[in-house]
Structure 1
Amino acid sequence: MKRSLAILSLLTLAACGADGEPVRPTASSSVTMSSSGVSVGTAVGLRRGPFSLALGMGS
Structure 2
Amino acid sequence: MKRSLAIFSLLTLAACGADGEPVRPTASSTITMSSSGVAVGTTLGLTRGPFSVALGL
TM-score range, shorter chain: 0.5 to 0.7
Instruction: Calculate percent identity across the aligned residue pairs.
Output: 79
What's the Cα RMSD here? Answer: 1.2
Structure 1 unaligned regions, length at least 5: 1-12
Counterpart CA distance in 2 for 1:27 and 1:18 is: 20
Q: Is the radius of gyration larger for structure 1 or structure 2? A: 1
Question: Which residue does the alignment assign to 1:38?
Answer: 38
Question: Which residue does the alignment assign to 1:18?
Answer: 18
Structure 2 unaligned regions, length at least 5: 1-12
Question: Which residue does the alignment assign to 2:49?
Answer: 49
Runs of 4+ in 1 over 6 A off after TM superposition: none
The TM-score with structure 1 as length reference comes to: 0.66
Shift of 1:18: 3.2
Aligned length: 43
Q: How does 1:3-14 map to 2 (within 5 A)?
A: 13=13
The TM-score with structure 2 as length reference comes to: 0.68
